[in-house]
Structure 1
Amino acid sequence: MRAFLGMGLLGANFVRAMIKKGIQVQVWNRTTAKATALEAEGAKAFADVADAVRGADIIHLTLKDDASVDEVLEKASAGFQPGAVIIDHTTTSAAGAIQRTAAWKKKGFTYLHAPVFMGPINALEGTGSILVSGDQSVISKLEPVLAAMTGKVLHFGEEEGRAASIKLIGNLFLVTFTTGLADTLSLAKALHVPLSDITALFDSWNPAAMLPARLKRMTAGTYDKPSWELNMARKDTQLFLDAAAQGGTKLAIVPAIATEMDRWIAKGHGNDDWTVIGKDAL
């Protein structure tokens, strides 16, 4: 029997998927109504989190952050059965994941941080990716459980907290990618370019395909054979800023990029490949 704590969009659909596979699931949520709503689909809801985990071999969590995970697990622990396994899908700090792994092991329980790259539809359909790292014997034992929840289990070695770090890195990329799209739309608005033209552009030209080669170039550490000089990239960046200002729109992240470009130009890298702006990250 499973327990699932946290009935947000992701957690609720994980539970629905488990029920469809014939798994008995006891659920809890801070807002009780979100848990009781799943009773019509076969879950058993509890107002007390300690009651929700009683009898559960495996306890899943999808909560907000480190503080909420620590708080909920502490309250739930009164109902833990001996040897219970905690699988935490919450996006947290790496330090928090490391601390919890050690703390719950000391108390006689298995804690595995297994964050995910998946949305609610993925949780319902069993697609997407779950990230794991740490004790390989624990991961090997729990991999069938995780694989049933998703399309892929991605392994990142024996270091505790590495999965948490990878999740944060991936989310950072998604945040900056989406903010970049927002700036793209703002510039289009300033230039009176219709959304249909932007859609047509990206239907035909897929810059995401450049990602592996761009990452390789940035991390190679050599920038003296440019495909796009930093000076020229900075010139275009100013065109973005000027057009947005003239069109009465505001760009969110491009001003910070321009400042970073100016810093590297001032250091004498204007004629280098523009990816030199990532040199300090290596």
Structure 2
Amino acid sequence: MIAFLGMGLLGSNFTKALLRKGEQVQVWNRTASRASALEHFGAKAYAAVADAVKGVSRIHVTLKDDASVNEVLEQALPGLAPGAVIIDHTTTSKEGAIARTQAWAARGYTYFHVPVFMGPANALEGTGYMLVSGDQSLIASWEPVLAGMTGKVINFGPETGRAAAVKLIGNNFLVAFTAGIADTLGLAKSLDVPLADINTLFDSWNPGAMLPARLKRMTSGDYSQPSWELNMARKDTQLFLDAAARANVPLVVIPAIAAEMDRWIAKGHGGEDWVVIGKDNLPTT
């Protein structure tokens, strides 16, 4: 018997996938209709979260944030079976994941933070990525179960909260990437380039393939052999800004990048590779 708390797009599809495998699943959602809708697929819905977790040893959580996880788990406490394992897929703060791991252990329960890079389709199909860290014996015992829910489980080692941190790093990249696409479309609009031509460009040229090499170059600490000088990158960036300004199309990300380029040029790095603008943000090795 499994309990699933949080019947959003991710939680509901996780539940459907478990039901397809013949699992018995008890579900709860703050908006009760979302939970009751899963009864059509074979789940048992409960109006009270404490009732939803009764009689189960494994509880999955897919909620909004630290506050909602804390609130719902407190409400679930009266119904929790001794020694129950709480598997939380919510994207939360690193500090919150650490605090919950410790607090629930003190109460006699296992809280296991397992954030995901999975959309609703992945949850239904059992594809995508789950991130884990912390107690390695716990991970070893639960990895087969988690692997059955996703395409790959990535273990980031024994530090509690590391998985939460890596999830935030990944989401940061996705936010920056998407905002960059928005500015790219804005520049295309400014230059009267149709969407079909943008699709043709990126169907043939995949800048994502450059990511590993770009990351290696940025983190090398040596920017003296440029493939694209900062001065030249800044020149092109001004062309973006000028074109958008003439067409009265707002860009969001590019102006901030231009300001950062100017800061590094003023410090005397104009002749170096432009990835030097990330130098101050390098993490420890």
Using the TM superposition, give the Cα deviation of residue 144 of structure 1 relative to its aligned residue in structure 2, in angstroms: 1.3
Quote the Cα distance in structure 2 between the aligned partners of 1:105 and 1:138: 13
Q: Secondary structure at the match of 1:37?
A: helix
Quote the Cα distance in structure 1 between the aligned partners of 2:144 and 2:210: 34
Quote the Cα distance in structure 1 between the aligned partners of 2:58 and 2:143: 13
Matches within 5 A, 1:195-210: 195-210=195-210
Quote the Cα distance in structure 1 between the aligned partners of 2:244 and 2:56: 56
Quote the Cα distance in structure 1 between the aligned partners of 2:126 and 2:77: 28
Q: Does 1:31 align with 2:52?
A: no
Q: Does 1:61 align with 2:45?
A: no
Quote the Cα distance in structure 1 between the aligned partners of 2:227 and 2:39: 59
Quote the Cα distance in structure 1 between the aligned partners of 2:31 and 2:184: 38
Q: Does 1:93 align with 2:93?
A: yes
Using the TM superposition, give the Cα deviation of residue 72 of structure 1 relative to its aligned residue in structure 2, in angstroms: 0.3
Using the TM superposition, give the Cα deviation of residue 145 of structure 1 relative to its aligned residue in structure 2, in angstroms: 1.2
Instruction: Give runs of ≥4 in structure 1 deviating > 3 Å.
Output: none
Quote the Cα distance in structure 1 between the aligned partners of 2:110 and 2:139: 10
Quote the Cα distance in structure 2 between the aligned partners of 1:177 and 1:219: 19
The equivalent of 1:151 in structure 2 is 151
Counterpart amino acid of 1:201?
L
Quote the Cα distance in structure 1 between the aligned partners of 2:218 and 2:95: 28
- What is the TM-score when the length of structure 1 is the normalising length? 0.99
Q: Does 1:264 align with 2:250?
A: no
Gaps of 5+ in 2: none
Using the TM superposition, give the Cα deviation of residue 247 of structure 1 relative to its aligned residue in structure 2, in angstroms: 1.3
Give CA deviations for 1:43-85 in whole Å, capped at 9, x if unaligned: 0000000000001110000000000000000000110001100
The equivalent of 1:175 in structure 2 is 175
The equivalent of 1:249 in structure 2 is 249
Quote the Cα distance in structure 1 between the aligned partners of 2:52 and 2:68: 17
The equivalent of 1:21 in structure 2 is 21
The equivalent of 1:77 in structure 2 is 77
Quote the Cα distance in structure 2 between the aligned partners of 1:139 and 1:246: 56
Quote the Cα distance in structure 2 between the aligned partners of 1:69 and 1:3: 15
- What is the TM-score when the length of structure 2 is the normalising length? 0.98
Corresponding residue pairs, total:
282
Counterpart amino acid of 1:110?
T
Give CA deviations for 1:244-282 in whole Å, capped at 9, x if unaligned: 111121111000000000000010001110000000012
Counterpart amino acid of 1:276?
V
Quote the Cα distance in structure 2 between the aligned partners of 1:203 and 1:211: 17
Q: Does 1:105 align with 2:105?
A: yes
Q: CA RMSD in A?
A: 0.5
Quote the Cα distance in structure 1 between the aligned partners of 2:58 and 2:197: 50
